[in-house]
Amino acid sequence: MTLEPPKDKIEKEFKEEFKESEIGHKLILLDEVDSTNLYALQSSESIPDGTVILAQTQLAGRGRKGRTWHSPPGLGLYLTILLKKTSFHGESHLLNLLASLAVYDAIKEILPAGKESSPGLLPLELKWPNDIMYNSLKLGGILSERKGTYRENVPTAVGIGININHKDCDFPGEIARNSTSLFMIDFKKREPQDVAREIVRKINYRFSEMARKGSEHIINAWMQCSPASRGSRVRIISDNEEFHAVTEGLDQRGFLKVRRYGDRLQTLLSADIVSVRRL
């Protein structure tokens, strides 16, 4: 799959649709880049707030905790949104929740069986802190990164990776056992820019909703799309330890609460967590 029609036409279509929106009024299409997040942060002084960067392939795509994001040409969505005036000062985990919720909305719109489905009916769910899952397999993920310290209006890159046209044989080794793609769900090939357009629509909507209703609404909406975030037995691996617990939902900051054996309640900070796996 290639970014067809020609780049200038795609960029023009984005500009026309999102010219009055906070996000998507400028689109940068790249054939190849080390990382769309890194490109956004390095270019933050010369490109406007709300710019979307979309690449055909990444040579050094990144995930959480220094992991590599597998980015073969034309098979996935490798997208970053540059935010220069974000209100999420020092709260990139909330930004991850909002972005993953918007991606959930977009995938429901894209999949034929998803449009009329209520949360819980489609085997699509969000996994704290940043994963999009389908039938317990990873479909995509979010990675927010900042330029420098957590100060007001520090440029932030919101990276979104979605497996679009992968077949099982396109995933390497261990990744193949735990991953899926839109193509593997309904056997339809899609252009990355079409998936990107739907995601940008939903992110603009969720940002406006956040401005109207506040972060509590976004956190509650996220939990409705994440059955495992409440009442599920999980195995947690952090930087310092590994233990079993039962999930108790998110707190008002968007961190996951768990009850450890012995009835001790603990709040997990996303930066410290390597993985949360349902038992």
Work out the pLDDT band at 62, boundaries 50, 70, 90: low
Instruction: Report the C-alpha gap between 141 and 164 in whole angstroms.
Output: 12
How many CB atoms within 10 Å of residue 102?
A: 26
Query: What DSSP assignment string belongs to 47-97?
Result: S-TT-EEEEEEESS-B-GGG-B----TTTEEEEEEEESS-S-TT-HHHHHH
**Helix residue spans in the chain (DSSP H):** 7-17, 36-42, 92-110, 173-177, 182-186, 192-213, 215-224
Tokens representing residue 261 in the block? 């054996």
Work out the pLDDT band at 260, boundaries 50, 70, 90: very high
Mean pLDDT (whole number) for 168-185: 91
DSSP structure class, residue 43: T
What's the pLDDT score for residue 174? 82
Instruction: Report the C-alpha gap between 185 and 167 in whole angstroms.
Output: 10
Whether the predicted pLDDT of 64 surpasses 60: no
Alpha-carbon distances of 151 from 85, 95, 143, 148, rounded to whole Å: 11, 15, 19, 8
Instruction: Report the C-alpha gap between 155 and 54 in whole angstroms.
Output: 18
Over the stretch 200-247, which tens digit does the pLDDT of each residue have? Answer: 999 999 999 998 999 999 999 999 999 999 999 999 988 888 999 999
Only one residue has tokens 């979307």, namely 52
Instruction: Report the C-alpha gap between 255 and 98 in whole angstroms.
Output: 13
Only one residue has tokens 């506040």, namely 214
Over the stretch 145-173, which tens digit does the pLDDT of each residue have? Answer: 887 665 567 889 999 999 999 999 998 88
Whether the predicted pLDDT of 276 surpasses 60: yes
What's the pLDDT score for residue 85? 78
DSSP structure class, residue 228: G
Only one residue has tokens 């990675």, namely 143
Whether the predicted pLDDT of 55 surpasses 70: yes
Whether the predicted pLDDT of 59 surpasses 60: yes
The least confident of 101-105, 189-193, 260-264 is 260-264
CATH number of 228-278: 2.30.30.100
- Of the candidates 240, 246, 238, 248, the one whose C-alpha atom is nearest the C-alpha of residue 278 is 246
DSSP structure class, residue 179: B
Over the stretch 76-134, which tens digit does the pLDDT of each residue have? Answer: 999 999 998 765 545 678 899 999 999 999 999 999 765 555 555 679 999 998 999 99
What's the pLDDT score for residue 91? 66
Which has more confidence, 279 or 199?
Answer: 199
DSSP structure class, residue 184: H
User: pTM of the entire structure?
Assistant: 0.90
* Start-to-end Cα distance in the chain: 37
Percent of the chain past pLDDT 70, that is, above it, reads: 86
CATH number of 7-224: 3.30.930.10
- Of the candidates 194, 276, 200, the one whose C-alpha atom is nearest the C-alpha of residue 235 is 276
- Of the candidates 120, 153, 98, 67, the one whose C-alpha atom is nearest the C-alpha of residue 226 is 120
